[in-house]
Structure 1
Amino acid sequence: MSQRNPQTVPDAGMTPGERRATAAVALVFGLRMAGLFMILPVFALYAGHLEGVTPTLVGVAIGAYGLTQALLQIPFGLLSDRLGRKRVITAGLVVFAAGSVVAATADGIWGVILGRALQGAGAVAAALMALLADLTRDEQRTKAMAGVGMSIGLSFALAMVAGPPLAAWIGVPGIFWLTGVLALLGIAVIHGVVPDPARSSRHRDTEPVPGELVRVLAQPELLRLDLGIFALHAVLTATFVALPPLLRSEAGLAPAAHGWLYLGAMAAGVAGMVPLVILAERRGRMRAVFLGAIVLLALAELLLWAGHGRLVPAALALAVFFWGFNVLEATLPSLVSRTVRPDGKGTAMGVYSSSQFLGAFVGGALGGWVSGRFGLPAVFLAALGLLVLWLAAALGMRPPPARRSVLVPVGRLEADEAALLATRLAALPGVVEAVVVAEEELAYLKVDPARFDPASVREFSVAAA
């Protein structure tokens, strides 16, 4: 049986091995995501000299990684159960590096599109999460996943800020070469720093399970959240198809200086995000904050359209944009975790992530098409229209009450014993749902933190014996 300790055992903190594994996996995530996002603020400025370029194809090139990532990340995660985590991760990073080389050496827009699609085809996110789950105890898993989430957010911010000066220094092909090097560095980290797990097993809290897909896709509230992350990243990608060229042509802002504008806007967005997330999570105002954040995005797109790329309106709009964007990036995963069954979280998050990357592809293609047909400012109106549709769909949301997941190792059980144990666990005060998966020797609980006493499940845990 794999070594698992539940959240019911007193938390002594992460072991050195868990901290090392978390830091290393977070670093690999960050390197890969930085490579994908550094192109976002600069490619539309560079693409004009490529052979065969059209506005639509510029948008497709920016978002192409999203299509292959959306299609392949769940299969890659499942494949890692069969072939081994590190083998699949290594193969994915090699594909990512190959895509970077293809894009770096391309003379035409179709070569860049192929390279970006190959970058997305190295879809190792689910396999990385599974590897980290193999290397951490259950009561430390939330901390480990939070560390990865922070690395992704930080890599996005750094990529947006660093992309413009890097493009001025080494050119966009140089950025593609750099992303290839970062992918190879990720391989070195995986094999040189991350320990080999003693045993790999499926973790329903972090990995998709094929048998859960139908159930997850049949939940209207989860589909509403998937629509939300799709729209959020479609709007993000479409906005950056149009904004950089307008900043250069209308505001007269040198491309190398764009990063400073993004840095200020992101800092303002983070400062505004914190109180709203606290209000949503701790004061029970999730619905109001969530809808308000969508309105903030809509206001930002309206300001960008009205300002037509002028510097002061654009700076204000970007600050408002990243205010709403950061709030939604923080609250959407929390809503997914609260809504899904305790044993379906990994599957729900897999569908959610696929929706996110599909949104990036559609947003890029839509932004490119609209800019070519109606002009760059019209992209902001198209994004505004998408946000209005999202807001209309979100008005019917019913925010789930505050819940958290608890994992309890229960040892080897027969099917009838597992069913009986699930009934006993569900009857405990504060336990909202209980699912016992006999083949995983694990109970998945969803609990009300205000009423749940961790000591109440200690007698059921083999790790507490």
Structure 2
Amino acid sequence: MSPLERRTAYSLAAIYIVRMLGLFMILPVFTMYGAELKGHTPLLIGLALGIYGLSQATFQIPLGTLSDRIGRKPVILFALTLFVIGSVVAALSHTIVGVIVGRALQGAGAMSSTVLALAADLTREQHRTKIMATIGVSIGIAFTTGMVLGPVLNAWIGVSGIFWSTAVLGLLAMGVAIGVVPNPRTHRHHRDTGIVAASFAKVLKNRELLRLDLGIFIMQFVLTSNFVVLPVLLAHMTHVPVNRSWELYLPIMVFAFLLMIPFIIIAEQRRKMRQILLGAITVLGLANLTYVYADRSLPAMAAGLLVFFTAFSVLEATLPSLVAKVAPADQKGTAMGAYSTSQFLGVFTGGTVGGMVYGAWGIHGAIVTSASAVLLWLLVALRMAEPRYLSSYVLPIKASDTQEANALQAALTAIRGVADAAVAVDEGVAYLKIDRAVIDETELRAFARPTNEPLTE
């Protein structure tokens, strides 16, 4: 990658980390704080945890579409402004309703699709996958950091202080967007990162993609629902106070990450993706039930959490990889948009249903509900077909009309190792699905046009 592309990757990843860190830090501490707010109920505490998912799901596609019209940076800055305002509202609120409003505003600053589109504007096609992977890794970093940092900050400045810290982080992200992220020479729609309205119906009719959408919905449902009750469970049953829960989460998150790596290697390199997915779903559900039967034992609870987060990490890495493999060459962005929407709806539903069930049937009821959702996912996933181990590849091409595009598409499809090809004349690229085990990239590059045009202003 060029210095410009590295700067793009790291600065956009930093913005992603800052924003997601602000959302993740309250997960391990909010339930106990919410119980001290005026007007709280278990349902409203769960709603406060999950409401950002609803506003995120509602606004991410409209804001992404708006960025195609007015530019990426204005939309990113607008989204971060909403995020900062929401953080301030939550920090100043002494009622559960006020915090819910603040969290909803935080989520309304939905900039995920816009950040990815800006990354595509600022990078050459052959390096786009690396850039997206760098930004994707930032989400895992933010989650792990938030799980540890949230309890530490709660001990020092409380949850309201965490919200103030989140507002400051949002302002810093705005500074990075203005002063560090390069300005693209132009912005245009990219089918590998953006939504194509005409493709949405096709994506929603694809059963394999729908299974993956259901999977990420249930996974986030379970995670958010669990964090409605986990702080209470740790404090009252295993006597781990919220402010010291980081001592439990830190080694668990580190070991879960290390344990995840061999499973991902087996899934990708040995082409055991379906088996690893089904195994991780099964383990996720069983680990969830250990919370119920830990019997006030901290070692049993810690073991259950380690197994849970290991399975969760495997699934978090596997699911988007499967979406990229399953989606047709020119529908990846649309498929990922539907996947992300399902993810955020899972956050909202998990918080809301988790809080409602906790209020009606207690901790055991909430945990059993989550485990039942995982069982449903497993039953659906069992019908999943063995995926083709294909990679996305974007090739810069020159085709001036439909006739040339059709001829080029036929020539590309004829190359050994190319499973699917779609030529986008308006973008000047061909979207391919290739098998890297057999492809000869020199054959592909023979069709590529030179890409010497500047990416920045």
| 1:41 maps to amino acid | P
Deviations 1:114-147 (A, max 9, x none): 1101000000011111111111111111111111
Alignment of 1:204-223 (within 5 A): 204-223=191-210
Alignment partner for residue 162 of structure 2, among 175, 187, 196?
175
Report what 1:427 is aligned to: 414
Alignment match, 1:54: 41
Q: Is the 8 A contact 1:96 1:120 kept in 2?
A: yes
Q: Is the 8 A contact 1:458 1:464 kept in 2?
A: no
Instruction: Map 1:37-436; keep pairs closer than 5 Å.
Output: 37-307=24-294, 310-436=297-423
The range that moved more, 443-452 or 353-362, is 443-452
Q: Secondary structure at the match of 1:435?
A: strand
User: Aligned partners of 2:358, 2:446: CA distance in 1, in Å?
Assistant: 62
**How far apart are the structure 2 equivalents of 1:101 and 1:181?**
9
CA distance in 1, matches of 2:188, 2:451: 21
Distance 1:298 1:308 in 2: 18
One-letter code aligned to 2:88:
V
Q: Which amino acid aligns with 2:428?
A: E
The one-character-per-residue Cα deviations of 1:10-61 (angstroms, maximum 9, x if unpaired) are: xxxx111111111100000000000011111100011111111000110000
**How many angstroms apart in 2 are the aligned matches of 1:59 and 1:458?**
52
Decide which moves more: 44-53 or 27-36: 44-53
User: Aligned residue for 1:9?
Assistant: none
1:25 aligns with 2:3: no
Distance 1:302 1:375 in 2: 14
In structure 1, C-alpha distance between the alignment counterparts of 2:42 and 2:444, rounded to whole Å: 59
Answer whether contact 1:296 1:323 (CA < 8 A) is retained.
no
The whole-number CA distance in structure 2 between the counterparts of 1:159 and 1:247 is 18
Say if 1:308 and 1:129 are closer, same or farther in 2 by CA, change over 3 A.
Answer: farther
The residue type equivalent to 2:116 in the other structure is M
- Give the Å deviation of 1:264: 1.6
Partner secondary structure for residue 428 of structure 1: coil
2:455 matched residue in structure 1: none
Cα shift at 1:400: 1.2
Residues in 2 aligned to 1:116 and 1:237: alpha-carbon distance in whole angstroms: 14
What residue identity is the alignment partner of 2:48? A
Alpha-carbon offset, residue 308 of structure 1: 5.1
> 1:85: Cα distance to partner?
0.3
Q: 1:52 to 1:59 in 2, by over 3 A?
A: same
Amino acid at match of 1:58: I
2:364 maps to amino acid? P
Matched with 2:22 is 35
AA in 2 matched with 1:30: I
Quick one: which amino acid aligns to residue 432 of structure 1? Answer: A
SS in 2 for 1:440: coil
- Which of 414, 432, 436 does residue 445 from structure 1 map onto? 432
- What stretches of structure 2 of length at least 5 have no aligned partner? 453-457
TM-score by length of 2: 0.97
1:214-252: per-residue Cα shift (whole Å, max 9, x none)? 111110000000000000010000011101111111111
Query: How far 1:269 sits from its partner (Å)?
Result: 1.2
Please say if residues 126 and 395 of structure 2, whose CA atoms lie closer than 8 Å, have aligned partners that are also in contact: no
2 CA distance for matches of 1:146 and 1:414?
33
Q: Distance in 1 between matches of 2:377 and 2:250?
A: 27
What is the alpha-carbon distance in structure 2 between the residues aligned to residue 362 and residue 58 of structure 1?
13
Please report how far the alpha carbon of residue 202 of structure 1 lies from its aligned counterpart in structure 2 after TM superposition. 1.1
The SS at the match of 2:35 is helix
Measured in 1, the distance between the counterparts of 2:79 and 2:402 equals: 37
| Secondary structure of the structure 1 residue equivalent to 2:310 | helix
Distance 2:271 2:445 in 1: 30
Change (3 A) 1:308 1:113: farther
What amino acid is aligned across from residue 140 of structure 2 in structure 1? G
Q: For 2:344 and 2:296, locate their aligned partners in 1 and report how far apart those are by CA, in whole Å.
A: 27
- Report the identity percentage: 49
TM-superposed CA distance for 1:412, in Å, is: 4.2
Let me know the Cα RMSD of the aligned residues.
1.1
Mapped to 2, the partners of 1:425 and 1:332 lie a distance apart of: 28
**Are the equivalent residues in 1 in contact too, given 2:221–2:349 (CA < 8 A)?**
yes
Query: Structure 1 stretches (4+) deviating beyond 6 angstroms?
Result: none
Per the alignment, residue 8 of structure 1 pairs with none
Q: Distance in 2 between matches of 1:137 and 1:379?
A: 47
Residue 461 of structure 1 pairs with residue 448 of structure 2:
yes
Q: Structure 1 counterpart of 2:71, which letter?
A: G
Measured at CA, do residues 131 and 97 of structure 1 come closer, stay the same or move farther in structure 2, by a change above 3 Å? same
- Structure 1 range deviating more: 413-422 or 88-97: 413-422
Q: Amino acid of the residue matched to residue 318 of structure 2? A: T
Q: Distance in 2 between matches of 1:377 and 1:408?
A: 53
Instruction: Name the SS for the 2:240 alignment partner.
Output: coil
- Distance across 2 between alignment mates of 1:458 and 1:272: 38
Question: How many aligned residue pairs are there?
Answer: 452
TM-score normalised by the chain length of structure 1: 0.96
Is the CA contact 1:234–1:360 (under 8 Å) kept in the aligned structure 2?
yes
**SS of aligned partner of 1:146:** helix
2 CA distance for matches of 1:461 and 1:327? 36
Contact 1:293–1:324 (CA<8 Å) still a contact in 2? yes
CA contact (8 A) 1:296 1:321 kept: yes
Any gaps of 5 or more consecutive residues in structure 1? Answer: 1-13
